[in-house]
Chains A and B, each alone.
Chain A
Amino acid sequence: MSDELEQLVRGTLRRQAAEITQDSLRHHDIRPVRRSRVAPVLLVLACVVAVAVGSVLIYQGHTASPLGTPPGYVGYQWRLTEVATGEANTVVSQDIRATASFFPDGTVVLVDSVNALTGRYDGTATGFGVRGIGTTLALYDGRDPVRLAVVTAVDDLASGQHVDAAVLGETLTLRAAGRTLTFQQVGPVHPSDLRPGPSR
């Protein structure tokens, strides 16, 4: 019976195949590849979306991180090196201690060279906002224009307004209140950054 079944299947498949003859074929040559009109449009759209998403991620500091990971500035202390306004750029020398430390638990410590401001930062799509600031209460009665520019700029970061943040390599750029503050990475945050004191 097995042979009979095999013969039956073989015969049937071959009879069916034989129905297709050279003459009955629809094509007698290789037809050109069909090109979809939709594919190029989808490709362009995909590129636009990829560029947009990439820009947002880079601007947030997610330069190489997947969505859902912390922004690139978190976990590091950053030293302020320049304050730029529409009118002037102020280079901050290393002897002026002005830093921003972003702890993974949401604590931020801003040092404006005179006082240390401690509060919480909340990440947003393009940066962060600072709230609940407490500060040391030292006074500065000097006239150093660089120090005054630094104090004003850093204190503005703590004023509760939205701050745009971007990390590129070891450079952090913050924009708020018409100013652009440029920081250089010092290193990972350390518990001692939570206490005002001499610069590391």
Chain B
Amino acid sequence: MSLPRSPAGAAAQRRVVPVRELFEQHYLAMVRIAYSVVGDRESAEDVVQDVFATLQKRDRAAGLTEPRHYLTVAVLNRSRSVLRRRRLLRRAGPARVEHEEAADESTIRRVESDRVLAAVRRLPTRQREVVVLRFLEDLAVREIARVLGITPAAASSSLNRAMSTLRQRLGSPDER
């Protein structure tokens, strides 16, 4: 999957998409991205609301050639701010892995999900963003680099480091 681009040379024919329409098209997807990065729904919605409110206030939609790309970048930027603010307020708490009772398959899956999410959330912000863009948004490394404003080599390196860390934290499938 790649972020949709406007066709080259089509600027003159480009339709100006109202912010309201962008909201309807992308709000849910952006909240999901933000949620994967910041880790709680309330903050995720706040992040995306702020992005759209700013867009509306500045009437920026008219100049957006790649709305999805712009929104993803803006959401990640604001998510980063949330994480920074949170780090200032308190050190990240321990991972939420407290399910000890043996249970049915759905509970086991939930426990495993919690482990994976906790491991992803403990990654450094940049690595976490790369993982979310790669596995949630299905972006290619080149696209990830474009969204984050880094080189493809740096994006690839971040992804490799993130996966290496996750492998260590989660253990091999046999150990789980």
Co-complex (A, B): yes
Give residues in A with beta carbon < 8 Å to B: 1-2, 4-6, 8-10, 12-17, 20-22, 24-27, 29-33
B82 CB to nearest A CB, Å:
15
* Given A5-B166, A16-B113, A17-B32, CB of A30 within 8 Å of CB of B52: yes
B57 cross-chain contacts in A, Cβ below 8 A: 33
Closest residue of chain A to B33 (Cβ to Cβ) is: A17
* Given A26-B42, A27-B49, A29-B23, CB of A13 within 8 Å of CB of B166: no
Contact of B20 among A17, A21, A30 (CB under 8 A): A30
Q: Mark B7-36, 1 if CB is under 8 A from A, else 0.
A: 000000000000110010001100111011
Number of B interface residues at 8 Å Cβ cutoff, please give it: 35
- A27, B132: Cα distance in complex, Å: 23
| A5 in contact with B113 (CB, 8 Å) | no
Having A17-B32, A25-B45, A30-B49, one finds 10 other A-B pairs with CB under 8 Å, namely A1-B173, A5-B163, A9-B163, A13-B135, A14-B135, A14-B136, A20-B32, A20-B44, A25-B27, A30-B56
| A25 in contact with B163 (CB, 8 Å) | no
Is B53 among interface residues, defined by CB-CB distance under 8 A? yes
Interface hub of A8, A31, A32 (most chain B Cβ within 10 A): A8
- A3, B113: Cα distance in complex, Å: 17
Give residues in B with beta carbon < 8 Å to A: 19-20, 23, 27-28, 31-33, 35-36, 41-42, 44-45, 49, 52-54, 56-57, 112-113, 116-117, 120, 131-132, 135-136, 163, 166-167, 170, 172-173
| A16 in contact with B19 (CB, 8 Å) | no
Contact of B53 among A13, A14, A25, A31 (CB under 8 A): A31
9 pairs, A vs B, C-beta closer than 8 Å: A2-B163, A4-B173, A10-B135, A14-B135, A20-B31, A20-B32, A30-B20, A30-B23, A30-B49
Interface hub of B44, B116, B172 (most chain A Cβ within 10 A): B116
By secondary structure, the B interface counts as helix
- A25, B41: Cα distance in complex, Å: 9
- A15, B109: Cα distance in complex, Å: 11
- A27, B57: Cα distance in complex, Å: 18
- A32, B136: Cα distance in complex, Å: 29
Closest residue of chain A to B115 (Cβ to Cβ) is: A12
| A1 in contact with B23 (CB, 8 Å) | no
A8 cross-chain contacts in B, Cβ below 8 A: 112, 116, 170, 173
- A32, B130: Cα distance in complex, Å: 31
Interface hub of A1, A9, A20, A31 (most chain B Cβ within 10 A): A9
Interface hub of A10, A17, A27 (most chain B Cβ within 10 A): A17
Contact of A13 among B20, B27, B36 (CB under 8 A): B36
- A15, B114: Cα distance in complex, Å: 11
A31 CB to nearest B CB, Å:
5
B167 cross-chain contacts in A, Cβ below 8 A: 1-2, 5
| B53 in contact with A30 (CB, 8 Å) | yes
Interface hub of B52, B54, B120, B136 (most chain A Cβ within 10 A): B136
B132 cross-chain contacts in A, Cβ below 8 A: 13
